[in-house]
């Protein structure tokens, strides 16, 4: 069974992060073994205070489960929203955001141009000035210089640039711009001061650029805390940030029910802005996870009334990516079958119909480069004599059965005496030479090739019986014949059955009399035949052949039977 996924509205902790410590009442009971008034009696407080301090001004990689689009990616579709997944499942609801409501996190998406063009207090036309009165140190662009050179000064008016008011705290550089209707005057413009949108500094510095925001956070973040701040013009923030009532809809919890490991919860913060891949090439985008903790000021009317003012936001995490306009997976793969795209076809076919009146070379009603066997219909250019042909290993149709042969030399020699009309198929010869060249090109392969070894066949001994006789009583030849073992002698049919010579202990020691040498058995089988032969040839048998009972035989008996033989053996 596969994983199941659920989305939850939120996971709100019982105690918010950063709130003053909360008491927990503790009840302790000592059992009756402790006598009253004992020094072991517990006299401490009955409650303890705890405080939760979750992440507030920054996140580390370990806090983050994942981001989408991936940082540095170049091809995420522009209709997918960025989002960040957090291991700490309660994080978005651990603090209070604007209006005292939860969550307190938002994901903002900014294009690179929006970050670079952040200015403060401008541009503002601070006055008009006759060209003749332009200060020498004023930045004048080339068009104005040309205008100055060709337009006579009329001496109309004169204004004191230094006395002109400049709104906003920051004062940017002054430039002169031509006035279309008045050729001998220029407008003096003070641009907004270029200020970095991203600043890493102590928190107290926020006061200089966003006093209202600083006031909202004062007391929540220490002035000396190092924070990364994102400064946006109020107008831009209002345009791209989620509305205050949308914050709650953009935070969720993803719960994955896993068979073996139980539930895994991940908090997710989703952006509300789609990437813009319309530029060529598409712009770099950066997603910012920002804190809106206590930021009632962010959605106050004052922000909209001062569109050129700035709002500062504490950035907990950010990553950059470049979106793509190329459609999503479905659109790209579905478009393949529409020409001029190449289509979904059999190998060798072309994405077009054959010329009028021409047959279909392969299949599907398409024109083709290959024939049924995978050879080029129109031979490729080559320098070989004759009609050399080639095909690779890829074929339009199932190939002939696999050859059972092995090549030990490539073909060209064999083509030498071929008849003129024989197509010189270099395909397999090419393959052979390719393999040879691949091996020769690699010292490692050559070294390994010399390590290839045949493994000699070994007899796999499988013991079918174990002789329990003492070694002293076993004959060396009483082993299983490997040849017989391979042919499974124990399974011989009745017609070929023979009495095994090898005895086990029951037939041997336990039997009375025991047939140590197998002579008794042989006498039974062949004794009469032997006797007949001996009689036929006139041999004299003085003593009838009989067997010895090994269990009862004595030295005296042996002496009686074999005394003469033993005596002969002593000389």
Partner 1 sequence: MYEQLGTKTGVQAVQQYRSTFQVQAAPDGLVFAPPQPNNFYGDVGIPDRLRAYVTDLRLLRHIPLAYLIPDAGLLPPECIRFFNIDPTWMDRVIDGVFSAANTGTVDQMFGASLLAMIRNAIDTDLTALAQTSAPTTSWNGGQPMTGMLIRSDLVRRWPNLIVRAFSTAPDDYDDIDNLGTVGVLRAEPISKDIYIAVFGGTPAMVHIREPFTGTRFGVEEATPGSTTWTVDGHNSDGTPTHAAVPVGVKNAAKRTLNIAGLATKVGPPRMVALHLEQNPYVQEFKNSVAESTGSVPLSNFILADGTLQAVQLRYGRTMNMAALQQRQIQIDQLNPKEKL
| From 242, 312, 361, 514, residue interacting with partner 1 (rule: CB under 8 A) | 242
**Segment interacting with partner 1 (CB under 8 A) among 122-130, 194-202, 405-413, 513-521:** 405-413
C-beta neighbour count of 30 within 10 angstroms: 10
The nearest distance, CB 240 to partner 1, in angstroms, is 5
| From 284, 432, 489, 509, residue interacting with partner 1 (rule: CB under 8 A) | 432
| From 201, 223, 249, 557, residue interacting with partner 1 (rule: CB under 8 A) | 249
User: Smaller CB distance to partner 1: residue 132 or 430?
Assistant: 430
Number of residues that bind partner 1 (CB under 8 A): 123
Please state, in angstroms and rounded to a whole number, the distance separating the CA atoms of residues 282 and 324: 7
The nearest distance, CB 246 to partner 1, in angstroms, is 4
Q: Does 421 bind partner 1 (CB under 8 A)?
A: no
Q: Does 501 bind partner 1 (CB under 8 A)?
A: no
The nearest distance, CB 373 to partner 1, in angstroms, is 10
Question: What sign for the dihedral angle of Cα 79, 81, 85, 90?
Answer: negative
Give the residue among 235, 230, 226, 236 at the shortest CA–CA distance from 197.
230
The strand pairing partners of 67, in sequence order, are: 84
Touching partner 1, residues 221-240 (CB under 8 A): 239-240
The nearest distance, CB 243 to partner 1, in angstroms, is 6
Sheet containing 262-270: order of strands: 4-8, 251-258, 262-270, 83-86, 64-68
User: Smaller CB distance to partner 1: residue 355 or 491?
Assistant: 355
C-beta neighbour count of 210 within 10 angstroms: 22
Please state, in angstroms and rounded to a whole number, the distance separating the CA atoms of residues 437 and 425: 19
Give the residue among 66, 90, 49 at the shortest CA–CA distance from 251.
90
Touching partner 1, residues 313-352 (CB under 8 A): 324, 326-352
Hey, is 174 helix, strand or coil?
strand
| From 363, 467, 504, 517, residue interacting with partner 1 (rule: CB under 8 A) | 363
Please state, in angstroms and rounded to a whole number, the distance separating the CA atoms of residues 249 and 107: 12
Give whole-number Cα distances, 538 to 310, 531, 532, 541, in Å.
Answer: 138, 10, 10, 9
Please state, in angstroms and rounded to a whole number, the distance separating the CA atoms of residues 557 and 513: 15
**Segment interacting with partner 1 (CB under 8 A) among 36-44, 141-149, 361-369, 471-479:** 361-369
Q: Hey, what are 271's tokens?
A: 């952006």
Touching partner 1, residues 62-91 (CB under 8 A): 66, 68, 70, 75, 77, 79-81, 83, 85
| From 15, 438, 465, 473, residue interacting with partner 1 (rule: CB under 8 A) | 438
| From 14, 50, 163, 455, residue interacting with partner 1 (rule: CB under 8 A) | 455
CA 128 and chain centroid, separation: 63
Touching partner 1, residues 42-61 (CB under 8 A): none
Binding-site string for partner 1 from residue 115 to residue 154, where x marks contact by CB under 8 A and - marks none:
----------------------------------------
Touching partner 1, residues 177-216 (CB under 8 A): none
Longest dimension (CA), the chain: 167
């Amino acid at each position: 069974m596969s994983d199941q996924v659920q989305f939850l509205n939120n996971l709100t902790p019982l105690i918010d992060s950063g709130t003053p410590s909360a008491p927990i009442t503790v009840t302790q009971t000592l059992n009756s073994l402790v006598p009253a008034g004992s020094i072991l009696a517990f006299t401490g407080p009955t409650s303890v205070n705890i405080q939760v301090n979750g992440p507030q001004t920054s996140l580390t990689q370990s806090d983050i489960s994942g981001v989408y689009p991936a940082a540095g990616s170049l091809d995420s579709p522009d209709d997918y929203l960025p989002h960040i997944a957090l291991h700490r499942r309660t994080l978005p609801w651990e603090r209070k955001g604007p209006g005292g409501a939860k969550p307190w996190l938002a994901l903002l998406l900014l294009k690179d141009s929006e970050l670079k063009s952040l200015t403060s207090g401008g541009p503002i036309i601070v006055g008009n000035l006759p060209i003749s009165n332009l200060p020498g140190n004023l930045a004048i662009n080339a068009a104005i210089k040309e205008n100055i050179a060709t337009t006579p000064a009329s001496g109309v008016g004169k204004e004191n640039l230094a006395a002109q008011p400049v709104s906003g705290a920051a004062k940017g550089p002054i430039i002169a711009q031509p006035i279309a209707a008045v050729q001998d005057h220029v407008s003096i413009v003070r641009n907004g001061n270029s200020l970095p949108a991203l600043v890493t500094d102590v928190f107290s510095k926020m006061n200089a650029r966003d006093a209202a925001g600083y006031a909202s956070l004062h007391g929540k973040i220490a002035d000396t805390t190092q924070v990364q701040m994102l400064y946006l013009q109020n107008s831009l923030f209002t345009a791209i940030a989620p509305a205050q009532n949308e914050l709650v809809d953009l935070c969720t919890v993803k719960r994955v029910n896993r068979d073996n490991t139980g539930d895994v919860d991940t908090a997710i913060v989703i952006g509300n802005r789609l990437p813009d891949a319309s530029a060529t090439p598409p712009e770099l985008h950066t997603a910012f996870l920002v804190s809106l903790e206590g930021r009632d000021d962010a959605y106050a009317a004052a922000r909209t009334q001062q569109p050129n003012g700035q709002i500062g936001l504490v950035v907990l995490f950010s990553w950059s990516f470049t979106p793509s306009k190329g459609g999503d997976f479905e659109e790209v793969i579905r478009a393949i079958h529409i020409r001029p795209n190449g289509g979904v076809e059999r190998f060798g076919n072309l994405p077009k119909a054959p010329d009028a009146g021409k047959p279909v070379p392969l299949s599907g009603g398409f024109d083709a480069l290959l024939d049924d066997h995978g050879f080029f219909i129109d031979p490729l250019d080559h320098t070989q004599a004759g009609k050399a042909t080639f095909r690779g290993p890829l074929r339009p149709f199932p190939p002939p059965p696999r050859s059972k042969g092995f090549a030990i030399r490539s073909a060209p020699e064999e083509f030498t005496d071929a008849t003129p009309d024989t197509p010189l198929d270099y395909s397999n010869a090419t393959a052979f030479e390719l393999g040879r060249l691949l091996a020769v090109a690699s010292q490692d392969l050559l070294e390994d090739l010399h390590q290839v070894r045949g493994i000699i066949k070994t007899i796999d001994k499988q013991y079918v019986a174990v002789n329990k006789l003492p070694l002293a009583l076993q004959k060396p030849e009483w082993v299983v014949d490997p040849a017989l073992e391979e042919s499974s002698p124990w399974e011989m049919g009745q017609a070929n059955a023979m009495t095994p010579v090898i005895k086990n202990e029951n037939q041997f020691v336990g039997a009375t009399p025991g047939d140590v040498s197998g002579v008794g058995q042989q006498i039974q089988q062949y004794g009469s035949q032997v006797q007949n032969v001996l009689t036929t040839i006139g041999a004299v048998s003085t003593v009838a052949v009989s067997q010895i009972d090994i269990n009862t035989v004595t030295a005296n008996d042996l002496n009686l039977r074999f005394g003469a033989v033993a005596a002969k053996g002593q000389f």
